[in-house]
Amino acid sequence: MEFPNFVSYRGENLKIFPEDKDSDGYLDAKDYFTGEKIAYFPDLKKISKAIGGARNLHKYWNSLSREDKVDMLEQAGVELNKIDNYDELISRAGGFPIKHVKNTRQNFGEYLKQAENLLQKTPGNGPMVGATSVTTPDVQPYIMIESLFGNCSVTEKGDSQEPFSAYIIGEVGYEVGLPVQFVTYSRTDNKKDFGSQLYKLCEQDDGYFILMGDPATPKKIAYRNLLDDADSTKLPLPKNMINFVSHGGAIIVDENADLEKATDGTIESFKYPKLCKAPTGIFVDERIADEYIDKLNNKINKQKVGDVTDKETDIAKVSQEYWDKLVDPFMRAAKSTTSEVVEGGKINQPTILKGHFNNSLAMEPHWPIYCIEPIENKDEAFRKINRTAKQSTKGKILELSVFTKDDELFKEIQEQRRKGDLGVYTLHKNKPTYSMNPEVGHEGIILRKYLAEENFVDK
């Protein structure tokens, strides 16, 4: 399949196809597990149109009435719920079970339709550029949507591993008139130079550059050649760069938790194989730990491990190479301290480990590996979470899910987090670490803070 870039320039929306002279090359999109080429985009090396277009789009978007913006955003949400011809491409390119991809696409379609409640009254902070890596198919679309709700135009550099989830927002935006652009670029070919050119857009126009990925990349992009003569650790990140560098999740299961919700939420937290928010520590009150493990194991055994394009697949079947490179190192680290294998342990087997975990808590499992640690009290879990968080660039893990019926306990944990005594970005009560709700999710919270939403509430 052949896909264009969407670029707005001098008031005109343009489609640049791979064969067009301005595209100067191709960008292959491949099946994550087989390496088969499944589509290609223009490898856009001449980005002056994107840079100039973003400024023009921002002026255009802010000239519209609030009512017109709401209508356009809601129309885009309706259209997104209809488009399903990219689900298989997203699934194959990212290695995601297709049943989850469909739910995600429909979710950000529904979220766009909430524009009346979420669109800010402020004029916005200029053009935005999103340059994101992909661990779930909703990351790029939500960054684009949050930028639009902040009254900003947005240019999305789709990840060359899975560009389609961002692309469909670009396509719908092109059709209904949203100030969205989609540009692609190879992650291996002059990545720093390309990122630096995009960053100049924000630097010149007081916009924001949104980046996910390697902690060193933001400074390489912002400071370019200066890094040859400077210590990058002493250089501050520019004010207009939003850096999402962090990972990790955890779960606390209180003694009075609803174990049906707790085990369902635990399984849901591993729905994507490369999920950066997957819980590496599942801290369960020792009085209910065995019952929790039994319920979890019964549910895991009913899941289907299979091809990502099979609509019945719950867990992506991965290759030996994937397992050896990404999963096995986590398993070995998890088993290096006092722990035992309760279930699984081999390739493509969901695995339950019970014991004490130290070395693996700051890693990413890249597959459903459930590390369950019985604890005497919540303070024991807090110490482990904080120790893990300190190893992160931001000093926080992404998500903490708390399963409890005790409202006072949850309020106490909220207060610990607000005071900075608990290194966690986002709290969920009786919900999985992977939240489909951007209002309380890591990306939405940070973007809303930077976009200065008038009545921002960190829920």
Q: What is the mean pLDDT of residues 26-30?
A: 86
Report whether pLDDT(459) > 60: no
Share of residues in the chain with pLDDT > 90 (%) = 41
Q: What is the mean pLDDT of residues 164-176?
A: 91
Report whether pLDDT(158) > 90: no
Amino acid at 323: W
Query: Residue 432: what pLDDT?
Result: 92
Max mean pLDDT among 124-128, 132-136, 305-309 falls in: 305-309
Confirm whether 5-245 and 249-437 share one CATH topology.
no
Q: Which residue would you say has higher pLDDT here, 203 or 170? A: 170
The overall longest dimension of the chain from CA atoms, in Å, is 67
Query: Residue 136: what pLDDT?
Result: 81
Query: Residue 187: what pLDDT?
Result: 56
Q: What is the mean pLDDT of residues 257-285?
A: 92
Report whether pLDDT(290) > 90: yes
Q: What is the mean pLDDT of residues 205-228?
A: 76
Amino acid at 77: G
Using pLDDT thresholds of 50, 70 and 90, give the confidence band for residue 368.
Answer: very high
Interval 32-49: pLDDT, tens: 988 999 998 888 776 777
Q: What is the mean pLDDT of residues 172-185?
A: 89
Return the exposure string of 367-387: e unless at least 16 CB atoms fall within 10 Å of the residue's CB, then b: bbbbbbbbbeebeebbebbbe
- Say whether domain 5-245 belongs to CATH 3.40.50.720: no
Q: How far apart are CA 366 and CA 135, in angstroms?
A: 10
> Out of 128-137, 321-330, 369-378, 387-396, which region has the weakest mean confidence (pLDDT)?
128-137
> Out of 293-302, 415-424, 437-446, which region has the weakest mean confidence (pLDDT)?
437-446
Q: Which residue would you say has higher pLDDT here, 14 or 23? A: 14
Report whether pLDDT(223) > 90: no
* Polymer length in residues for the chain: 459
Query: Residue 265: what pLDDT?
Result: 95
Report whether pLDDT(376) > 80: yes
Query: Residue 455: what pLDDT?
Result: 46
Q: How far apart are CA 184 and CA 18, in angstroms?
A: 11
Q: How far apart are CA 198 and CA 329, in angstroms?
A: 36
Q: Tell me the C-alpha to C-alpha distance, in Å, between residue 441 and each of 52, 141, 399.
A: 32, 13, 8
Q: Tell me the C-alpha to C-alpha distance, in Å, between residue 332 and each of 192, 297, 323, 374, 389.
A: 34, 21, 12, 20, 21
Report whether pLDDT(458) > 50: no
- The 3 state secondary structure assigned to the chain is CECCEEEEECCEEEEECCCCCCCCCEEEEECCCCCCEEEEEECCCCCHHHHHHHHHHHHHHHHCCHHHHHHHHHHHHHHHHHCCCCHHHHHHHHCCCHHHHHHHHHHHHHHHCCHHHHCCCCCCCCCEEEECCCCCCCHHHHHHHHHHHCCCCEEEEECCCCCHHHHHHHHHHHHHCCCEEEEECCCCCCHHHHHHHHHHHHHHHCCEEEECCCCCHHHHHHHHHHHHCCCHHHCCCCCCEEECCCCCEEEEECCCCCHHHHHHHHHHCCCCCCCCCCEEEEEEECCCHHHHHHHHHHHHCCCCEECCCCCCCCEECCCHHHHHHHHHHHHHHHHCCCEEEEECCCCCCCEEEEECCCCCCCCCCCCCEEEEEEECCHHHHHHHHHHHHCCCCCCCEEEEEEECCCHHHHHHHHHHHHCCCCCEEEEEECCCCCCCCCCCCHHHHHHHHHCCCCCCCCC
Instruction: Give the domain 249-437 fold.
Output: Aldehyde Dehydrogenase; Chain A, domain 2 (3.40.309)
Using pLDDT thresholds of 50, 70 and 90, give the confidence band for residue 25.
Answer: confident
Q: What is the mean pLDDT of residues 263-283?
A: 91
Interval 198-209: pLDDT, tens: 888 778 777 888
CA angle 417, 422, 426 (to 5 degrees): 55
Neighbours of 302 (CB within 10 A): 8
Q: What is the mean pLDDT of residues 144-173?
A: 87
Return the exposure string of 414-437: e unless at least 16 CB atoms fall within 10 Å of the residue's CB, then b: bebbeeeebbbbbbbbbbbbbbbe
Q: Tell me the C-alpha to C-alpha distance, in Å, between residue 91 and each of 99, 150, 241, 316.
A: 9, 29, 30, 10
Q: What is the mean pLDDT of residues 222-237?
A: 74
Interval 46-88: pLDDT, tens: 677 777 778 888 889 989 999 999 999 999 999 998 888 899 9
Query: Residue 206: what pLDDT?
Result: 76
Average pLDDT, the chain: 86
Max mean pLDDT among 228-232, 248-252, 435-439 falls in: 248-252
Residues with Cβ within 8 Å of 329's Cβ and at least 6 positions away in sequence, in order, are: 363
Query: Residue 121: what pLDDT?
Result: 81
Interval 110-119: pLDDT, tens: 989 989 988 8
Using pLDDT thresholds of 50, 70 and 90, give the confidence band for residue 456.
Answer: very low
> Out of 133-137, 273-277, 437-441, which region has the weakest mean confidence (pLDDT)?
437-441
Q: How far apart are CA 446 and CA 116, in angstroms?
A: 21
> Is residue 270 a contact partner of residue 263, using CB atoms and an 8 Å limit?
no
Query: Residue 190: what pLDDT?
Result: 61
Query: Domain ranges in the chain?
Result: 5-245, 249-437
Q: Which residue would you say has higher pLDDT here, 91 or 218? A: 91
Q: What is the mean pLDDT of residues 260-285?
A: 92
